[in-house]
Amino acid sequence: MNSKRIMRKVQPALRMTSRLFTLRTPPRLRLLYAALISVLLYVLYYFGIFTHLLEKDYFTQFEYPLNEDITVYIDQLRNGDLSDRPPINVYNYSFVTDAHSKCLTGGTFAELRLVYLVKSSMDHFERRQAIRQSWGFEGRFSDVPIRTIFLLGTRPSEPDSQVRVDKENKQFGDIVQADFLDAYYNNTIKTMMGYKWARRFCPKAKFYFFSDDDMYVSTKNVLRFLRHPTRYPQYLEDPAGMEVKPARKLEQVLDFELPDEVQLYAGELRHVAPFRHQSSKWYVSLEEYPFHLWPPYITAGAYVVSRATLDTLFLGSLFTKHFRFDDIYLALVAKKSGVEPYHCRDFRLNRLWYDGAIDYRYLIASHDFSDPEELKRFWEIQREAGNA
């Protein structure tokens, strides 16, 4: 926003201030007015009003380091060549435990339909167990090969938790833990370590579903969605509709019969402004991100990517500056890498308030199931109803 536009917005406040501070105003009132105005200005500053005035226009001015066409470097690395530009961002953390045999069958990587990668915190033992016993159960459909792993960081200050995690992993063999601090603002690191793990230890799955550990997920509906994303759930009610070609580019249309190079990055899509008020845990300064809107982003609670998209986003992350919110970071990488996010209304970041009047037949994922027992109960109800 240029200086003329800023002045137009603040001129009314300046005129009011000038009226208060006339020569006829008693000194005590001047001091009171000055104190009130100072408080008002601080409140406006604290809640980001002035920051919004200084934001750049996303549509006309967007850029983000590297300020280059990174698709060239992505293609070079994908073809096995060295990139003309060295990476600017490498998540160079080591795996403490890597579940390296999770996707192996007879010593070779299995051709899997779906892999769940669940972002979890070290001390969320009950949540992980509830997921294993509900939507993350790998034998849910005997004819569909599925794997589930949990992504964790470390907390050196909590050795007792690490002992429990080690015991848990010995029992289930599904913990992928890397040596970064397990904290909220490191979720981007956790996510990208999941991408790194998938490429290294589980490279032949068709789809990778990333989820938080407080989500309800319907595996049945995930698989039905992946059968025909652009026609879900309409094609289930009108099978003849499968033959109708959706008005989207071919590379955004996904079917099990189509080539593996087809891209899919799907979930709940949002295009909103950054939080500028400093009381928010999602506060972002102009130095971190100067534009008035985020790129269109898929919410991080639950989303799915195809194998090709996982590869593109991982390689794109090497040339995209780190950002501490994982859904925003992936949006930045996707925008710079030429990956188009796809919205599906049946992914829900905000929880649906469950009652008998709501139809859950096509619900894919919903947030705010932090109570493990509630998750298991709800999943059982949906399974019995044929929805999970």
Domain boundaries, given as residue ranges, for the chain: 3-46, 71-384
Q: What is the pLDDT of residue 45?
A: 62
CA nearest neighbour of 207 among 193, 224, 192: 224
Is domain 71-384 given the CATH code 3.90.550 in the classification? Answer: yes
Q: What is the pLDDT of residue 246?
A: 46
Q: Which residues pair with 118 in a beta bridge?
A: 150, 211
Query: Nearest 5°: phi and psi at 258?
Result: -85, 165
Query: Quick one: what percent of the chain has pLDDT higher than 70?
Result: 82
| Helix (H) / strand (E) containing 118 | strand 114-119
How many beta carbons lie within 10 A of that of residue 235, not counting itself?
Answer: 17
- Determine the Cα–Cα distance for residues 53 and 43; give it in Å rounded to an integer: 15
Q: What sections of the chain are H helices per DSSP?
A: 3-20, 27-46, 49-53, 58-61, 71-78, 125-132, 159-172, 187-201, 219-227, 234-237, 307-317, 326-337, 372-384
Q: What is the pLDDT of residue 97?
A: 97
3-class DSSP assignment, residue 203: coil
Q: Is 281 exposed, middle or buried (0-12, 13-18, 19+ CB in 10 A)?
A: exposed
Q: What is the reported pTM?
A: 0.85
Query: pLDDT (tens digit, 9 = 90+) per residue, 19-66?
Result: 555 546 677 776 776 777 777 666 666 666 667 788 999 999 999 999
At which residue do the structure tokens 């249309």 appear? 253
Positions in the chain short of pLDDT 50: 1, 3, 23, 243-257
Q: What is the pLDDT of residue 244?
A: 46
Tell me which amino acid residue 344 is: C
- Determine the Cα–Cα distance for residues 161 and 123; give it in Å rounded to an integer: 6
